[in-house]
Structure 1
Amino acid sequence: MRRSEFQRAVAAEFGGRSSALVNDLVLPGLGDRTAAEALDAGIPPREVWLALCIETDVPESRRHGAGRLEPRRS
């Protein structure tokens, strides 16, 4: 997962709350950092996404493949 995919996944899952969650919600699974702090510290976006999903009870069915763009059709 790239950082851009992380941002799309968070926006799609949380909508208007996405910015607040990324910047304010402390994630115990990432050393008590926010998602923004974890990304800035070099933690892979996929790991941050999964920690955010766990903390906010996102169903597993919506965790994998989130944020990816559909392949272009020729």
Structure 2
Amino acid sequence: MVPLLAGLHEVMPWVKQWHGEYDDEWGDVPADELEAEHENQLRKHQVGIEELKGWRPVKKTRGRKPAKQTVLDVE
């Protein structure tokens, strides 16, 4: 859940910018509802803002794994 919540936290300023006004079709301010749900999920999963800011994806290695070296018995 932390990666999803971190991603939402990262884009929240743009959500507020683009959807920060009352929308007749939505029936409310979409940014306010999304922010309230985000905060609800943070409490539910006991995740703090500092943890979201510090989260980074795991770096994956590219390419093939090195082949296992075998030792040959030479007499």
Q: TM-score, normalised by structure 1?
A: 0.28
Higher relative contact order at CA 8 Å, sep ≥6: structure 1 or structure 2?
1
- Say which one has the larger Rg: 2
Q: TM-score, normalised by structure 2?
A: 0.28
Name the structure where helix makes up a greater proportion of residues: 1
Name the structure where strand makes up a greater proportion of residues: 1
